[in-house]
């Protein structure tokens, strides 16, 4: 089934967002060794950091899906990308 012309930009945006998801998780894993040294954290505690980060992503993904059904998917997606970009720039 061919993709409608109106949906090509949406498909590109969603695929781009999904492409960057592993990079976000890898960024957290790359920051764990220096974080562990500076906070004198054990391996178990550092493992929890990655687990809680993934849990936070899952929780906000489910909440955003429900909010998208209520307020409109495009608006929620644009707000999410904007908040993520702003948070990344501030960090």
Segments making up each domain of the chain, as ranges: 5-90
Q: For residues 17-36, b (16+ Cβ closer than 10 Å) or e, as one string?
A: eeeeeeeeeeeeeeebeeee
pTM over 0.85: no
pLDDT at 58: 82
Share of the chain above pLDDT 70, in %: 96
Angle separating helix axes 43-71 and 73-90, nearest 10 degrees: 150
Identify the helix (H) or strand (E) that includes residue 18.
helix 8-39
Flag whether pLDDT at 3 surpasses 70: no
Which position has the token pair 């909010």?
Answer: 67
């Amino acid at each position: 089934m061919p993709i409608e012309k109106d949906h090509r930009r949406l498909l590109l945006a969603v695929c781009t967002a999904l492409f960057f998801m592993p990079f976000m998780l890898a960024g957290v894993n790359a920051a764990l060794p220096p974080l562990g040294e500076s906070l004198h954290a054990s391996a178990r505690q550092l493992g929890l950091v990655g687990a809680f980060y993934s849990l936070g992503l899952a929780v906000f993904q489910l909440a955003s899906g429900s909010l998208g059904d209520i307020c409109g998917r495009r608006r929620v997606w644009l707000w999410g990308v904007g908040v993520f970009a702003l948070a990344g720039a501030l960090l």
